[in-house]
Structure 1
Amino acid sequence: MIAGVIILVWRSPWRQGLGYLGLLAPLCLHALTEFPFYISLVHWVLFVGLLYLLDRRLGDSRCIPCSATLLPGVFGWLLPLLVIPFMLTTLQAAYLVTRYEKGGGKEPYLLTEVINPVGWAERFTYDSMLLRLKSGEVTGNHEDLRAYYLWAQKFVLHRPRMAVYYNMVLALQHLGDERQAKRLLAYSRWLFMDDPMFDRLLRSGAQPVFDQLKLEHWQLPCGAKFPFSRMECEVTQLGLMFVRDEFNLNEKDSWMRRENL
């Protein structure tokens, strides 16, 4: 698509080409740094509309005759029949998950009403596992606590979030594995530069489960706000050895990349 736009601009009169390029460039540059099309329908419609005008006015159009009529007709009916229910159930999942999160997790039945969690799989899974951790914390169900811990081990390989490490330590404490909990706590404090959040786990008594989705304005020691500009840290050789030894992970799986603030 980018190559096609460049070719059209190159072949067009320079005034028109520069005009369309000036309209499209800000949206393209914005898409490289943030998610304008993900959070704004207006941006997406405007971008597609500009592409259409560019192709309509500066591109070449040709009509290709097609003798086959059955296949296009089948796809013309089949695609809407598949796409429309998927999109509607995705909207339903978005509504229920958002309502559950805004309600502070006090209405767990909302998650059971989700029909199609595929479009919101990450947040749905996160909320479900967090709910399972809370249930295990209250009831003492070791199966729920162990299930959260095993899920979190895989989650932090790609998204090393502070709240998830906190909850992993909490799960180990409730499981009675104090040795492993202390070692993971020490590693978490090292990974997140002795963040004061982990001081709560050093105190006696049960601590509440931390929900990452409510930590958007958690102030870090360096002044950044969690979790959007926070680290996805490259583990040093010492930390890498710790992860492999303690969690039985291989070197490839335990590697994390750094994103500087």
Structure 2
Amino acid sequence: MHHSKRVLLSRYQLVLVTLPLTLLLAWLIFLTPIYLQNMGGSGLKLPQNIISWAIMAIVVTCIWLTLPAGKTIHLTKTARCVLFAIVILAIPLLYTPHQWRYEALIRWFALFGGWIFYISLLQYKAPRFSNTLLYYAILTAVTLQALIALLQFTLPDIIPEIVSYPMLNGKSSGVFQQVNVLASFVATGLALALMLFLLPIYTCNKVWAERLRSRYLGLTLILFPLILVWLQSRIGWIGGLVVALLFLARFHSLNYQRAIWAACLMSLGLVVGLVTLIHGLNSGNGLHYAGHDGSNHARYIMLRDTLAMIGQKPLSGWGYGGFEYSFQHFRLAQGLSTQGVGIARHPHNELLLWWVEGGLAALMGMLLLMACALRLVKTSLKSDHTKIRQFKLYAGDATALCIVLLPFALHTQTEYPFTLSAAHWAIFLLLLAELDRKIITANKCYALNPKTSALLRGAIPTVSITLFVMAIIGLYGNQVLTTTERNGLSDIEFARYAMRFDPWVNTERWHYDQQTHALLMFNQTGESHLLDGYVQWARSYLSYRIDKNVYANWMAIAQYQQDPITYRRLLQEAHSLFPDDKRFVSHDVPPLQRTAL
């Protein structure tokens, strides 16, 4: 009887221990490839990002609820260093303008939430070989995205309409809806494939299993360079080239034959990609070359003007969360418009974003994060060198993980991948935690006192499960709003009911839809209070966003209400921002109608 109880208890404990790992594997393999209908954008406007945050929240909850009683909570040097940087990055929150504070808090809490996810993974005593399973799960997720891209480029009609992934300017973007984000994802997959292919520690003992493993990895070494060529993403090319050269240079001595095979397989994928791209150019259909002249010019303007903004306010910054507003109005003050740049919501460089918005304090925080990264690389190299001298089996894996993290890290210096894809953020933190765990002997931990440990044991799972519930409700609200918007916002009652339970995730989007619906109702009822509500909302909205449709609608309202002063002010500002928009060239603004909204 007692023996059977012990067996049941051990099975129950096994389930608890493997639950976080199971959730992560299921998310990577089964949930990441799912495309849900949406209206575009970034952050929590994308349903896949909400799903990723929900998974992170439930994994954190499971880890902390299943920690053994009395287990001491440890923080590595890297974790403590990153926390200190995050605290420094919070300083500009104290003096950011109130209209931008919500946006600022969201971004800072995303950073802090990522840190909680990261330290939770450090506390997790995963089952044996769990890290290898995670590597293969991430590689599988990348492979699925690469195969989807392959089908979109070659046989677009074969993908069912219900799971139809969008194509952007004839290029696949996978589930991420942005070509560069998919490219850095594929480059990371290439790095993982090289790590698993070149390092002997991942070799299977059974011959048949090793044969299957090698063939799968070999196919990915052909597929990933091919897809990177077709995507024509410069940051994807840079990421793929850097990781390929670093892996071959660093690990070719472990197995010359495998290194030669890897180089040949990647070269084959590269050649096939180039030949098919050239053939597509000559045939008049299929693949097309995407010029980058316009993008290069836009990025140059962003860099130049962002540095000019920093020069004006180097200490205080322009305010967290307000780059979209500040950048456009900074250019407006110089007599420049959105031409050639569009509405810039990010300077396409994470270091510059935090610096221009947060000033000196934010710069110090970001530089500290970069110093943490460099120290981690240095410690990894030192740890691997020690293992090699001691003839240990796992020599080289820490350095390999540093290389695997490079594509995402490089991407943050040319764009904002972690805002466009929370999956990138979660995978980056997963790999970072694995790296930190591997060098934990050299990276001494700090044990928290019992009171602090008890506080974290209670607070973290409580907050995490709350965030999980909010994310699920937010995902439902996201889909309801998407359906409502695709139906022209003619009826928003179902959305109104759904948003009663979602006071946070889709708030800004819901307010926008409400006001647009109010204009549609005014066209039918003529109730003037609907226009007054729209003006009040538009005044607040345009204090932190740049939206030509809101300008046009407010101008039409000012004209209807015979308010020439407001009308001329809005016309002048809107024309300066959008000189090519015909609505802001002529003094004749069309009456309120659905097409103008």
Please indicate the TM-score interval, normalised by the length of the shorter structure. Answer: 0.5 to 0.7
Q: Which amino acid aligns with 2:425?
A: W
How many corresponding residue pairs? Answer: 211
Mapping of 1:219-258 within 5 angstroms?
A: none
TM-score (norm 1): 0.66
Q: Provide the residue aligned with 1:7 in structure 2.
A: 375
State the distance in 1 between where 2:544 and 2:448 align: 49
Q: Provide the residue aligned with 1:131 in structure 2.
A: 517
TM-score (norm 2): 0.32
Of 85, 97, 100 in structure 1, the residue corresponding to residue 484 of structure 2 is 100
Pairing 1:120–2:503 present: no
Name structure 1 gaps, 5 residues minimum: 212-261
Alignment partner of 1:13: what SS? Answer: helix
Q: Offset at 1:73?
A: 5.2
Q: Offset at 1:204?
A: 6.5
Q: Provide the residue aligned with 2:539 in structure 1.
A: 153
State the distance in 2 between where 1:8 and 1:205 align: 61
Asked if the contact 1:37/1:43 (under 8 Å) is kept, the reply is yes
Asked if the contact 1:133/1:171 (under 8 Å) is kept, the reply is no
Residues 157-201 of structure 1, C-alpha deviations (whole Å, 9 max, x = no match): 222211111000112233343564355335433442152234687
Higher gyration radius (CA): 2
Q: Provide the residue aligned with 2:436 in structure 1.
A: 55
Q: Offset at 1:76?
A: 6.0
Asked if the contact 1:36/1:43 (under 8 Å) is kept, the reply is yes
Greater shift in the superposed pair: 114-123 or 161-170 = 114-123
Mapping of 1:7-26 within 5 angstroms?
A: 7-13=375-381, 16=396, 19-26=400-407
Asked if the contact 2:558/2:566 (under 8 Å) is kept, the reply is yes
Q: Provide the residue aligned with 1:175 in structure 2.
A: 561
Q: Provide the residue aligned with 1:75 in structure 2.
A: 459
Name structure 2 gaps, 5 residues minimum: 1-81, 83-368, 385-395
Determine which structure has greater relative contact order: mean sequence separation of CA pairs < 8 Å that are 6+ residues apart, divided by chain length.
2
Asked if the contact 1:145/1:175 (under 8 Å) is kept, the reply is no
Pair 1:145–1:57, CA change in 2 (3 A): same
Q: Offset at 1:205?
A: 5.5
Q: State the percentage of identical aligned residues.
A: 25
State the distance in 2 between where 1:64 and 1:70 align: 13
Q: Offset at 1:142?
A: 1.3
State the distance in 2 between where 1:99 and 1:39 align: 22
Residues 14-48 of structure 1, C-alpha deviations (whole Å, 9 max, x = no match): 67565433322321232344343344354233212
Alignment partner of 1:22: what SS? Answer: helix
State the distance in 2 between where 1:154 and 1:9 align: 46
Q: Which amino acid aligns with 1:13?
A: L
Q: Provide the residue aligned with 1:86 in structure 2.
A: 470
Asked if the contact 1:185/1:198 (under 8 Å) is kept, the reply is yes
Residues 38-88 of structure 1, C-alpha deviations (whole Å, 9 max, x = no match): 443542332122101210112335473754586455436633552332222
Higher helix share: 2
Q: Provide the residue aligned with 1:64 in structure 2.
A: 447
State the distance in 2 between where 1:203 and 1:184 align: 12
Q: Provide the residue aligned with 2:574 in structure 1.
A: 188
State the distance in 1 between where 2:556 and 2:461 align: 52
